[in-house]
A and B are shown apart, each in its own frame.
Chain A
Amino acid sequence: MTQTIDTNIYAAVTEAIQSEAQRILAAGEVTAIVGYAAARRKGSAQPIVITSADDAQKLIFTPACVNNLAVYLTKAKKEIPKSGRIGIVVKGCDLKALVGLMGESQLKREQLYLIGVPCAGVLASTIQPDTGLTSDSIAPKCRECDAHLPQGCDFVPSQTPVTPELEKKYAAEIARLEALTPQERWAYWKEQFSKCIKCYACRQVCPFCFCEQCLCDRNKPQMVDTTPRPAGNTAWHIVRAMHLAGRCAGCAECERVCPMDIPLNLLNRKMAKELKELYDYEAGFDVHDKGPLNSYTEKDDQSFIK
């Protein structure tokens, strides 16, 4: 049964973002703000960087504001010290990426002005932007969101989102895959990876793929095949999943941008589940965390040693 999700607060949230952006830019607290603006198609949204208080009214928040804007700070990170403090509009899921980036010395908290967004959810990538938010049109990641209200921001509009309990699709899909035999599971992923065309959109959109030179682009030695062949595809996706283990907090941008519809976030959620079960660890909450995969304690699970 389709259930409508209340997004009435988004208008008020937009107003609050605009007035806060206007204030901090005018006061010189920040030199630029990364946020969302309306795009050409009706109801759609796109990222925008504004540097003038006059542009503050361009900022919006709607169910079409799907992008994780954190990625713009990583690619531009060298500019941040030069241009002063940067403001950024963040949903709870995006904030987790920023927290991770701070823990990995990519960003400093004092260089950021965080404008948090109370968010009931955004649209799935397959849905037209002008559609209303319902239990059918909502992005799968929003169904299991635990950060509707971002914590620890410099400014958060006062509205509280109404968030109905929805069926967890990733959890259900992971359970389905876990019930398969290893051979069946391998066959499933082999089929998924075989679709990959090595466009690396997943890499470009991922806030954690911040390496200036990706190991997959290195040729001395050639670690991963560059052409889209099954063996190289599998290598790339396994490298990607392993590199994100303990770091990815599930913004699902990789899955959104994949032109071949490979369920990339499913792999990421499975890795996150393993981390939770093995080390009781969840990415995206603690800035100074070493993370279980680069620390050792005597309590670590050693059952894999046989």
Chain B
Amino acid sequence: MSRIGVFVCHCGENISRTVDVERVAAQVGKMPGVAFATDYKYMCSDPGQTLLKKTIQEQKLSHVVVAACSPRMHEKTFRKAVEAAGLNPYLCEMANIREHCSWVHEDKQEATAKAIEIVGMLVERVKKNRVLPTITVPVTKRSLVIGGGIAGIQAALDIADAGHEVVLVERDPSIGGHMAQLSETFPTLDCSQCIMTPKMVDVANHPNITLYSYSEIEQVDGYIGNFQVTIRRKARSVDEDKCTGCGVCMEKCPVKKIPNKFDCNLGMRPAIYVPFPQAVPNTPVIDRDNCIKFKTGKCGLCQKVCGPGAVDYEQEDTLIVEPVGAIVVATGFDLYTIDEKPKGSMIKGYGEFGHGKIPDVIDGMTFERLASASGPTGGKILRPSDGKEPKQIVFIQCIGSRAREKGISYCSKVCCMYTAKHTMLYHHKVHDGQAYVFFMDARTPGKAYDEFWRRSIEEEEAVYIRGMVSRLYQKGNKIVVMGSDIAVGVQVEIEADMVVLATAIQPRTGADSLAQKLGISYDKYNFYSEAHAKLRPVECATAGIYLAGACQGPKDIPDTVSQASAAAAKVMTLFAKDKLEREPIVARVKEAGCVGCFACKKVCAYGAVEEKEIRDRQGNLIKVVAYVNPGVCGGCGTCQATCPSKSVELDGYTDEQIVAMIEAL
């Protein structure tokens, strides 16, 4: 006979406001099998848990039902408490009378009646709970980091420094990401390359880091502690092991005038190239779309001049499989482009700002390349149209960001600060120039951030105009900027030489398809979702996968680096144990009834179902049945729903339990 204890939580007033918790406890106390029922203000608090533990021992309870919030919230808490009191944790169930009842109802009478029924169902279910032993699975102490920007680099270095192997996968020919493109960084104005490139070199030289540049994630199988990741190494056409990085091939390449994406298409590169001189690895890649050899079959100059014979036109994509225990996703961001929007996208463009039509309307990243000492102009601020120094420059903030009508309602977080920085860089380089900034409001929380912004106005003579620009148009070699100054309530018209748009941060194109490979969730913009906005900000809801940087949402460098180190710490926490304990809510095959049709195997999303031969003592095959590998099973229950003879069941959710719950209604 069961001796079930029921503990009804008030959740402060969250539940007791709409549910008569005392009546619930009194009614449930009369149900068959219930030995004890009480209510308490905060069951999850320390005194609440102590009450639970004490009662289990005093009343010699066999099962426990906690009627409180969602099991997602506190199931772990109460199962731990039950375990501490000496019961198997899986003999404790939660009845959700908050999300499923008090929060969604107003009438106290009816809500109370419903709460009693919910608890009654769980009482019937818990009676049929089995003692489940915890499952342990081995942990592969290697980590995958996806993305070689500052986030991925930082996470990879931290994990590698802790003594674990790291596989770093970068889509582009070189690591470095957006940060390698920046000129100087706020709020200290140190040179981005000077602080970034040493870290890139550290990655290249670290004995624990395997770097796969020019590579992409093809497929992810497995689960926390035991992922198998298939990586596509795109054909570089240059053998990384042979290439010495001398650069002769790039000098001799007859195709020279290909716009370099790294320089926002302002600089030019050959068909065999490294994106920038400090690239890691310093191994060129052939851009097959522009290479004469690949287009016509002739040329082959780079192969002829290559001393070590590293150029290989025959190279093909290769797939490699890496076993890893944890994955850090650090795929970064793309910048909003105001002119090109994919068909069907919820994001709309700004026709009125002339980006892409007026050559001297550029975005913030292009300005970074102009201001960078290693950029296409050697660090001189020059207009793309005629190479002249702009004497009047207008910066416009919130392009795309915070514009619900354009499809993006979030703030991109970094633009206020980088525009302030741009005005300073401009003032440092063009002493007689004047910078204007159109802004909605300046968002500068962060250490030394507001001081930095004030400095741009007070010391560096930037003129900030609160208001939005309505229209830009070319007039001679000037760009007329029409806007309003809402502080004084007048229309403003500025004849600018150049306009810089602070475009929004957006998730990478294709972020959703990577998320689907990884099995992680993402929001409507395709930013990856953390498990909990406040308390689990670097973990994904999918166990063993962690987030770092702007792939989760707009972030500046300090935040990105912090989160990358946090993700690394989470990986190290996982790797601190040799075995991973996991919930034993897994499917089990009842072999007597199994006919081996393997419908379960066909539908299993985790690849957990195997074929098992049953033999008699003489070794004769009796039959072949399904077997669920408990280490791999995700506990989704699809097999249970599919099995025609009901011969596979999910522990904790057996048909018997579900039917008992239905019958309790």
List the interface of chain A (C-beta within 8 A of B).
Answer: 78, 81-82, 104-106, 210-215, 218, 220-223, 243, 290-291, 294-295
Contact = CB atoms under 8 A, between A and B. Distances in A.
B603 A294 contact: yes
Nearest to B624: A105
Given A105-B597, A220-B656, A211 B622 contact: no
Contacts of B646: 215, 218, 223
A221 B653 CA distance: 13
B593 A213 contact: yes
Given A211-B593, A213-B593, A221-B656, A295 B645 contact: no
Contacts of B558: none
A210 B593 CA distance: 11
Contacts of B642: 294
A215 B602 contact: no
A78 B645 contact: no
A98 to B, nearest CB: 15
Interface of B: 592-593, 595-599, 602-603, 620-624, 642, 644-647, 655-656, 659-660
A141 to B, nearest CB: 23
B595 A221 contact: no
A293 B627 CA distance: 21
B645 A214 contact: yes
A296 B593 CA distance: 27
A221 B597 contact: no
Given A104-B597, A106-B595, A211-B644, A81 B621 contact: yes
A104 B599 contact: yes
Contact of A295 (B602, B622, B647): B602
Contacts of B602: 290-291, 294-295
Contacts of A218: 593, 646
Contacts of A220: 656
A213 B597 contact: no
A212 B598 contact: no
Given A211-B645, A221-B656, A221-B660, A106 B597 contact: yes
B663 to A, nearest CB: 9
Nearest to A220: B656
B515 to A, nearest CB: 14
Contacts of B621: 81
B644 A212 contact: no
Contact of B655 (A81, A212, A221, A243): A221
A103 to B, nearest CB: 9
Closest 3 CB pairs between A and B?
A211-B645, A221-B659, A104-B597
A84 to B, nearest CB: 14
A210 B622 contact: no
Given A211-B644, A214-B645, A215-B644, A105 B596 contact: yes
Contacts of B647: 213
Contacts of A81: 621
A219 to B, nearest CB: 10
Nearest to B662: A221
5 contacts: A104-B599, A105-B624, A290-B602, A294-B602, A295-B603
Contacts of B659: 221-223
B645 A212 contact: yes
